[in-house]
Structure 1
Amino acid sequence: MSQLSFFSAESVPPAVADLTGILAAPGQIAVAGHGGEPAARLSVVVDRLWRAEALAELIAEAGLQVEIARTDEDTPLVRTAMDTRLVAMAREWTRGAVKTVPPRWLPGPRELRAWTLASGRPDSDRYLLGLDPHAPDTHSPLASAMMRVGIAPTLIGTRGTHPALRISGRRRLSRLVENVGEPPEGAEALAHWPRI
């Protein structure tokens, strides 16, 4: 039985801001008018249903309505309903129509959990947090944000379709594992979850 870390995602109360971890991954946010006032929708396409289900749970815990759908390519898509509470996040994370990283953003435990759920995967004895291939200007700022929380990554794959932050070394992996908490239920989630 592993002891729950004080810093892990399970020890932090849910908040809408947790979902910025989805934007660190290949998530998108869009603002539109909604009954006279602006509202925003957060969405992310993932490669596996367990990711979609776990992200939907995280979004619901933050108090937002969520649905799981399928893209035209039949891959899982998780998205919130249009919500005014997401407008501030959309403004912080976009410049015009381009996704950007807010200068002072730091990934806390729940943000790291959301990022791991959306695009984390093992790579031999290392771990990869997937980045948005359509937002290359976010890659270096996200690497810097990770360094500021004590998990110094290596930026890889920036010229390909699967850019990621690679986390290696026992201390860095331990810090990531400590922050993201326990994996969702199921063998597939466990196989994709970070471990030391």
Structure 2
Amino acid sequence: MSQLSFFSAESVPPAVADLTGVLAAAGQVVTVGTGARLSVVVDAVWRAAALAEMMTATGLQAEVTSTEENTPLVRTAVDVRLLGIAADWTRGAVKTVPTDWLPGPRELRAWTLAAGSPEADRYLLGLDPHAPDTHSPLASALMRIGIAPTLIGTRGAHPALRISGRRRLSRLVETVGQPPEGADAEAAWPRV
């Protein structure tokens, strides 16, 4: 049995700002009328279900559906509480990273749920291939919390931040907490 860390995602109460972690991945936030909607396309149903659970825990309504390509999509209902996130994370129609954004435990968990994957003895946090200007600021944000990544694949369809080394991986594992239930989630979750 593992011990709960004081820095783990399970030790922090849910907040709407936690969901900014999906924006570090390929998530999108759009203003709709008097509110905003957060959405992200993921590669597995377990990811969509776990993110929907996170969204619901913050008090937002969540919906899991699929794209025309039959890929899982999770999104919130339009909500006024997402307007601040939309203002902070967009400049015009372009996604940007707020200069003071640091991924806390739950933000990092949302990012891992949306786009995390193991690579041999390393771990990848996926980035948005359509928002290349976010890649370096996201790498810097991770460095500021003690997880120094390597930016990879910037010219391809799957850019990511690679986390390697026992100390960095331990910090990531401790921060994101336990994987959601299920073999697929456990296989995709970071480990040392």
Which residue does 2:181 correspond to in 1? 185
Matched, 1:116 2:116: no
Distance in 2 separating the partners of 1:130 and 1:156: 10
Which residue does 2:69 correspond to in 1? 73
Give per-residue Cα distances to partners, 1:104-159, cap 9 Å, x unaligned.
00000000000000000000000000000000000000000000000000000000
- Mapping 1:1-196, distance limit 5 Å: 1-33=1-33, 38-196=34-192
Q: CA deviation at 1:32?
A: 1.8
Q: Secondary structure at the match of 1:79?
A: strand
Give per-residue Cα distances to partners, 1:80-101, cap 9 Å, x unaligned.
0000000000000000000000
Unmatched segments (≥5 aa) in structure 1: none
Unmatched segments (≥5 aa) in structure 2: none
Q: What amino acid does structure 1 have at the position aligned with 2:32?
A: A
Q: CA deviation at 1:164?
A: 0.2
Matched residue count = 192
Distance in 2 separating the partners of 1:3 and 1:195: 15
Query: CA RMSD, aligned part only?
Result: 0.4
| TM-score after normalising by structure 2 | 1.00
Identity rate, percent:
77
